[in-house]
Amino acid sequence: MTTIRTIPIRHPVFMEQCAHLLHGNQIRSRGFRYTRPAPMVYEYQWLWDSCFHAIVYRWFNPGMARDELLSVVEHQVTEGDDAGMIPHMAYWNGDGSDLWGQRRRSIITQPPLIAVAAWLVHQRHPDLDFLAALFPRLVQVHAWFNRRRDPDGDHLVTLIHPWESGWDAHPRWDAPMGLEHPTDEQSKAARHALVAQLRAQGCHAERLQAAGSFAVEALDFNAIRAADLEALADIADALGADGALWRAEAGAVQQAVQHKLLSTEVGADLSGPDETPLLGPSAAPFIALFGGCARPEQAAALVAQLTAAHFWTVYPVPTTPSDDPHFAEDRYWRGNVWPSVNWLIYRGLLRYGYAEEARHLANQTLQMVQQNGFHEYFNPLSGQGYGPAQQSWSTLALDMAESAPA
Ligand code: GLC
């Protein structure tokens, strides 16, 4: 992981607003604390959201940053085939039964960022006890990925539901979902129907692939996993254990992403047992930079694409380029700007030394949120916000603005 400098607070008023928003979204349950992604719309706990919340809290509330991560690992599966998995949703007070057949959790995961978040929190506010509490849980998560989600043993994990990517309704999932130009309602209905299929097949990746169900080795997810393994290695070293094992695993994932997924010019996800490349441009390949998966010349090519007009919009980065036939700036996930995605791309730019581009992305994200409100996602052309107006992860603009190169 790239270490960022600790610098004086640059945006004290915005920080106050972020702290106020996150505080208002906090929930206490059964001795734990977490932050809802948004009141009313998203009341439960979501995995990658909580990681992002912790990353923001590290600027002003390290205790809550730690609690957020300790609560997200609390619903780690402890028995059965999926022991080790951290569910993408935790229902602290129950009622997940109808959809998932489980009262308190979902049966799928989300991008693994817990080690990344924990390491960022620790770098700003060192706390070895906190790292020690998380460490065995994080080891189990990555062992679960290897055991359950890499049936072909190529170091790329397979997603079994679009929800696992965090990009719920992106056009890149249309084909593997068996959809062609779906309406938002059709796409949502298909995601719900897929859960029944997962339950019928016991979430077994290989069986699902064989049945022609959604089974995708996603570029961004695997790049995020590489970064998480690197952070796990850093955590192991800090605890006096040997990080070499995790560093080697991270290296294997980085190589696999580089060779298999970045081998096409634009980068593509692989689908199904024969690893068919999924075509259609998206912002996902830029996340390869976050995971350190690109060679310098690949990084340069990715940055050239990123800064071309169809991605470098007034408010970058739309998840679908603005000149693509699937681009829809106001439809959920089909061409909007998402703070979560921007943060990952921003960190990748920093990692590869693209300071000017990183600074621009941080500035535009900050302006977008300051001018339009703490929304869930935004219009890349006008900046208009969509979804809830008190979405916790919009505060990622603070993390980007505070850590941006001067
Ligand atoms: C939506 C997003 C997902 C996020 C969740 C909670 O489902 O697509 O990425 O984790 O909301 O904010």
Q: What pLDDT, in 10s, does the model give residues 358-371?
A: 999 999 999 999 99
**Ligand 1: centre distance to CA 136 (Å):** 27
29-76 per-position pLDDT tens digit: 999 999 999 999 999 999 999 999 999 999 999 999 999 999 999 999
Give the pLDDT band (50/70/90) at residue 2: very low
Distance, CA of 107 to CA of 91 (rounded, Å): 12
Query: Considering the chain, what percentage of its residues have pLDDT values greater than 90?
Result: 94
Give the pLDDT band (50/70/90) at residue 265: low
Q: What is the mean pLDDT of residues 383-397?
A: 98
**Ligand 1: centre distance to CA 244 (Å):** 33
Q: What is the mean pLDDT of residues 165-171?
A: 97
Probe ligand 1: pick from 36, 51, 168, max atoms within 8 Å of CB?
Answer: 168
Structure tokens at 293: 């998966």
Q: What is the mean pLDDT of residues 130-134?
A: 98
Pocket of ligand 1 (CB under 6 A): 37, 42, 46, 48-49, 166, 168
Q: Which ligand 1 atom minimizes the distance to the CA of 169?
A: 8
Would you call the peptide bond into 337 cis, given omega within 30 degrees of 0 as the criterion? no
Q: Which ligand 1 atom minimizes the distance to the CA of 166?
A: 9
157's torsion region: left (phi>0), alpha (psi -120 to 50) or beta?
beta
Distance, CA of 264 to CA of 77 (rounded, Å): 36
Distance, CA of 315 to CA of 230 (rounded, Å): 30
Q: pTM for this structure?
A: 0.97
Give the pLDDT band (50/70/90) at residue 186: very high
The full set of domain ranges for the chain reads: 1-121, 149-293, 307-406
**Ligand 1: centre distance to CA 46 (Å):** 7
Give the pLDDT band (50/70/90) at residue 6: low
Max Cα-Cα span within the chain? 54
Which residues make beta-bridge pairs with 378?
A: 337, 385
Structure tokens at 405: 């190169």
Structure tokens at 96: 């997940």
